Amino acid sequence: MSEAHATVAPPAPAGRSGSVTAWLASERVFRLIPFVLVEAMFLLLLAVPFALTVYISLLKWRANRPFEQAYFEGLGNYVDVLTDAEFWWALARTFYFAGVAVGLELLIGFGLAMLVAQHVRGRRLYITIFLVPMMVVPVVVGYNFSMIYLDSGPLNQILRPLTTLLGVEPRIRWLSHPIAAQWGIILADVWQWTSLTFLIFLSGFSALPPQLVNAARVMGASPWQIFRRVQLPLLKPVIVIAVVIRSMEALKVFDQAVLLTFGGPGNSTQTVAFYLWRQVWQFNKYGFGAAASMLLLVMFAALIYCGIFLLVRQRSAVLREGRA
């Protein structure tokens, strides 16, 4: 009996696409794909605009002239920025706004978080109410406060008995007096962003180990001693986080200065962000604005580095105390 011999065709050679797929599927290459994608996004979104900004900062270019007529200026734009007194006043004013606003937000947010953390009844309702301002669009906040700050607005009506008693002008000109306008911007920022510090501190209070608090209470410690000796040391990393996050945002204040006063009266409420906007979009000084942006980047990066250094040092101290 004859046996049937079946011929088996040899496998077809893999094409170019198959070899590429197999190369990408190898473990050595596959684990590098996320890194390559992240690096590509970094180059596309950060490195390229950064390089263009540096290049423009070295040019003498105004928007009323075509880019072909821009010529190399070198460090001239940086010298112009550093010798501009208005730039330094705007920067100092920005730090003043940020320092006062962040300080008030930290105090108010910390107090509210402590009260909410100690009271269980109605806690969800209080959290919802306190988080509402943070969810409001900054443009809406600016227009609302512009109506509140009117000479005949509700704020002056509320303060009228107090100002009459003190013998002060019953109508405070919130948006036309230099000092009052500055505090008007600060109060608007505090109203909106205290919610963020409240949320950060509330998460810190919620993460505190209750065993330590109960042990201190059993040992006869007073509420003040529990707060000072137990809770506050454990909350120091959270406080540093709140300071760093809010300071980074507060230094970029722009919306309220534009919507409430447009930098006025005079330049009394002109922040550094509004100063840059005016230099670029009103005076068409693109090279000057790019140079000022690079200088601010270096300054703010140094501040952020200091904040992160404090955070890491505080975290290391807490870990050392925990091991001890």
Q: What is the torsion angle, in degrees rounded to the nearest 10, for the CA atoms of residue 251, residue 137, residue 100 and residue 205?
A: -100
Q: Could you tell me the pTM of the whole model?
A: 0.79
Contacts of 141 (CB under 8 A, 6+ apart): 133, 188, 191, 192, 255, 256
Cβ atoms 251, 94 nearer than 8 A? yes
H or E stretch including 279? none
Greatest pairwise CA separation for the chain in angstroms: 126
Q: pLDDT 10s digit of each residue in the chain, 324 long?
A: 444 444 444 444 445 555 656 655 565 665 666 667 777 777 777 778 888 888 888 888 877 777 777 788 888 889 999 999 999 999 999 999 999 999 999 999 999 999 888 876 778 888 888 889 989 988 899 889 989 888 888 888 888 887 777 777 767 788 888 898 999 999 999 999 999 999 999 999 988 888 888 888 888 888 888 888 888 888 888 888 898 889 888 988 888 888 898 888 888 999 999 999 998 888 888 889 899 999 998 998 888 888 778 777 767 776 676 566
Q: List 60's β-bridge partners, or say none.
A: 71
H or E stretch including 59? strand 59-60
Cβ atoms 273, 94 nearer than 8 A? yes
| Number of C-beta neighbours around residue 106 at 10 A | 19
| Number of C-beta neighbours around residue 280 at 10 A | 18
